[in-house]
């Protein structure tokens, strides 16, 4: 069954594009039926339009609106669309517990650091500032615990001597573009199951032969 996806994004939307590309190439059995942004005019909207996503929604926060009130509106929009999966691709809002429980187990996020280290809005910068030897990205289920939900996939690269945060972020972004579509395809195949609060990936065919990942390490290695 083709997975129906709603993407939530606030910025340039390169992760959304990587997902749309892999869907078009037939590597991900999904369709993006809705893109929502909280930032009117964000780059992701034009890219979604160019990719013929059927529904685009600008949903900025209204003046004086609380986080709870905003999420009530967001939940209503998403429930009307009834996606199988909600993908946060650079959505820069913290979601309320009400939102997380309305779509429990059906929201994933891509984070530009190796969780559970370096949570928050500056994953790459914080990785570098900490002097970590490994940088990378993580896909995970979204819970009310910010960047703390069950980890699905991670990919890592070694930090290079003298590298700037921008340079490292660019290398991590390359990994993100590979990790997010893989994660969605694993979910589309029904291979990601929750066991004792952790995401477990069932065995099955992998992309590794077809589309080698450009990373020093991919975890779990088989996917
Ligand atoms: C990515 O680095 C993602 O990991 C983070 O926000 C950024 C979004 O980039 N959550 P883009 O809009 O997908 O290009």
CA-closest residue to ligand 1 atom 9: 90
pLDDT tens by residue, 112-136: 999 999 999 999 999 999 999 999 9
Going from the Cα of 90 to the center of ligand 1, the distance in angstroms, rounded, reads 4
For 30, residues 6+ apart whose C-beta sits below 8 A from its C-beta are 2, 3, 4, 5, 19, 23, 85, 184, 185, 188
CA-closest residue to ligand 1 atom 7: 90
Going from the Cα of 45 to the center of ligand 1, the distance in angstroms, rounded, reads 14
Region 132-148 average pLDDT: 97
pLDDT band at residue 204 using 50, 70 and 90 as cut-offs: confident
Mutate to test the pocket of ligand 1, among 39, 87, 89, 174 (most ligand atoms within 8 A of CB): 89
CA distances, 219 to each of 136, 137, 154, 167, 201 (Å):
11, 10, 5, 23, 11
CA-closest residue to ligand 1 atom 2: 112
List the catalytic residues: 111
- How many Å apart are CA 120 and CA 138, to the nearest integer? 13
- What predicted TM-score, i.e. pTM, was given to this entire model? 0.94
pLDDT tens by residue, 18-34: 999 999 999 999 999 99
pLDDT tens by residue, 84-100: 999 999 999 999 999 99
Going from the Cα of 92 to the center of ligand 1, the distance in angstroms, rounded, reads 9
Q: Please check whether residue 19 is in contact with residue 37, taking contact to mean a CB–CB distance below 8 angstroms.
A: no
pLDDT tens by residue, 146-159: 999 999 999 999 99
Of 4-8, 143-147, 212-216, the range with the lowest mean pLDDT is: 212-216
């Amino acid at each position: 069954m083709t997975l129906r996806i709603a993407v939530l994004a606030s910025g340039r939307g390169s992760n959304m594009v990587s997902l749309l590309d892999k869907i078009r190439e037939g590597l991900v059995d999904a369709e993006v039926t809705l893109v929502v942004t909280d930032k009117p005019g964000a780059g992701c909207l034009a890219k979604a339009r160019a990719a013929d996503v059927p529904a685009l929604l600008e949903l900025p926060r209204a003046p004086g609106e609380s986080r709870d009130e905003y999420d009530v509106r967001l939940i209503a929009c998403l429930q009307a669309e009834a996606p199988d999966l909600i993908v946060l691709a650079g959505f820069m809002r913290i979601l309320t517990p009400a939102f997380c429980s309305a779509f429990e187990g059906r929201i994933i996020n891509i984070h530009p650091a190796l969780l559970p280290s370096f949570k928050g809005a500056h994953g790459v910068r914080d990785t570098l500032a900490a002097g970590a030897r490994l940088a990378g990205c993580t896909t995970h289920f979204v819970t009310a615990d910010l960047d703390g939900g069950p980890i699905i996939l991670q990919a890592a690269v070694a930090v290079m001597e003298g590298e700037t945060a921008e340079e490292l972020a660019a290398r991590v972004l390359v990994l993100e573009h590979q990790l997010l579509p893989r994660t969605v395809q694993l979910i589309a195949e029904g291979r990601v199951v929750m066991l004792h609060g952790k995401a477990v990936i069932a065995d099955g065919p992998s992309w590794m032969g077809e589309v080698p990942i450009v990373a020093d390490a991919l975890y779990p290695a088989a996917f």
